[in-house]
Amino acid sequence: MRAERRGDAVAYERLLKEIAVVLRGLIRSRLARAGLNLEEAEDVVQEILIGLHSKRHTWDDTRPFMPWLYTITRYKFIDTTRSLGREAARRANITMEEMAEMFEAPTEDPDRTLLDIDRHLADLPPGQRQVVRALGVEGATVRATAEQLQTSEGSVRVLYHRALRRLMAKSQGSDNR
C-alpha cells in the first residue's frame, strides 16, 4: 500500500490480486452456504476491491493494515449482499479472525488446498491434527477448540499456524516432484 502511494502500480496490483484470492476463497465458501452461485460471489469480490481502491487514501500508514482492510471489506460485503436478503448476509458474515488467518497462511488456491489436506492430515503430529480438524474442517471457534482440547486459545492458534505452514510446505513439495 505504501508502494501504491509512491505510484508503484506493479506492487499495488500484486497486493490487489492477493486480496482477491483470499476474498474469493472466503466469500465462495460463505455464500455457497447461503445458496449463492460463483458469479455472484465474484461480483461481491469486485465490489470490495473497488471499495478498497476508492478509499485507499484513508489508510494511515503508521497504523496496522488489517483493521483498515477488514473494516472496509465488512462494510462493502454487507452493503453488496444486502440485496441478497438479510438472512443470507447475516449467515455469511466473515469475522476479522477468519480474514486474518486466511491472510497469514501462504497464498494457495483454496480449492486445491482442501483436497490435499485430507491426505496430509495423517502426517501431522496429533496435536496439530486435532486443531486443524476442529478449526479448519469442522469450523469450530478457537475458544471451543481450546476447551475441547483443554489448552489455551493461544496454543490453539500457534498449533494451527504451524500445522498450516507444514501442510502448505508439503503440498508445494509434492508439486515439485
Partner 1 sequence: MPSTQHTDNLIGGLARQAGSSLVADPRAFKTVLIVATLCSLGISVALVLALIGSRPDFAAAEHRAALVYKIVSMLMLSLGGLFLASRAALPGSGRLTLAALVPAVIVLGFRAVTDRSGLSALGGSASSTYGCVLIIVGASFLPLVILLRVLRIGAPTRPALTGAIAGLLAGALGATAYAIACRNDGGLYVAIWYPVGVLVMAALGAAIGRRVLAW
Whole-angstrom distance, CA of residue 125 vs CA of residue 2 = 40
Whole-angstrom distance, CA of residue 7 vs CA of residue 65 = 18
Shortest reach from residue 68's CB to partner 1, in Å: 4
Shortest reach from residue 143's CB to partner 1, in Å: 23
When asked if residue 17 is in the footprint of partner 1 (CB under 8 A), the reply is: yes
Stretch that binds partner 1, among 72-80, 87-95, 137-145, 155-163 (CB under 8 A): 72-80
Q: Which is nearer to partner 1, 34 or 96 (CB)?
A: 96
Shortest reach from residue 43's CB to partner 1, in Å: 8
Residue with cell 486474518: 100
Shortest reach from residue 56's CB to partner 1, in Å: 6
DSSP state of 151: S
Rg for the chain (alpha carbons), in Å?
17
Shortest reach from residue 6's CB to partner 1, in Å: 6
Instruction: Answer for the pair 85, 31: CB distance below 8 angstroms, yes or no.
Output: no
Total of residues contacting partner 1 (CB under 8 A): 44
Of residues 25-64, those binding partner 1 (CB under 8 A): 38-39, 42-43, 45-46, 49-51, 53-61, 63-64
Q: Which is nearer to partner 1, 28 or 120 (CB)?
A: 28
**Which residues in this chain contact partner 1 in the complex, by CB under 8 A?**
3-10, 12-13, 16-17, 20, 24, 38-39, 42-43, 45-46, 49-51, 53-61, 63-64, 66-72, 74-75, 79
